[in-house]
Amino acid sequence: MSQLLASVTNVDEALIALENGADIIDLKNPAEGALGALSLDTIRAIVDSVARHKPLSATIGDLPMDPRLLLEAARETADTGVDIVKIGFFGREAHVECIHAMQTLTAQGARIVAVLFADEEPDFGLLPQLEAAGFYGVMLDTAIKNGKRLRHHMDNARLRFFVEEARSRNLLSGLAGSLAITDIEDLIQLDADYLGFRGALCASSDRKAALDPRQLALLADVLHSCNIMAKEFA
């Protein structure tokens, strides 16, 4: 069963997500990149409005692979009260060092999710190190938002390997990357823990546009129906 992660940019959108079928509410600023960060004040306001009703995740921004910088940003974000902090592992350099740096937070109980990028030749060999460092989960996304979706960069066999490897490492798994409603039927077969959406929930599929409650409700219904069908035919 895959849950629905909906990315939101403010309190109003978070409430829309809460009322229209999102399972996880993800706090992100699409205008600032793949994992653009909202201000800490905005994150706190959303936490005050939505916390305890649904799990909240938040991104720390499209930051360089500097262990100290990532640790500081992750700590500040965790201190807002969100349930999950998402960290992008861009490029190919210093990933191991950044993973090790996060052990300071994971040892204190912070739930950290690493985000790898399907359009940057991600190294799935990092998953054992994420497990050893106490990460909560790992997800796949796309770094460049140019209209190409996750499945343009990685076929179902490779995606299935990722999900199964994450599960074997006791890591929550997520799939995102300009996903459309038409991707759900195939991706649901992979049994990732959640599927992440932004553009598909907005008017004209523009990830920078406002969240559309009708789009979100429709997508939630489709995801729910596909989960039921997948369970029946399992």
The residues that are catalytic are 28, 86
Written as six digits, the tokens of 46 are 């959303």
What is the β-pairing status of strands 137-141 and 24-27? unpaired
Residue 4: name the closest of 165, 152, 153, 188 by CA.
188
- The two beta strands, 194-197 and 84-88, are unpaired
Nearest residue to 86 (alpha-carbon basis) of 42, 48, 36: 36
Give the C-alpha separation, 114 to 74, whole Å.
Answer: 11
**What gap in Å lies between CA 169 and CA 131, rounded to an integer?**
6
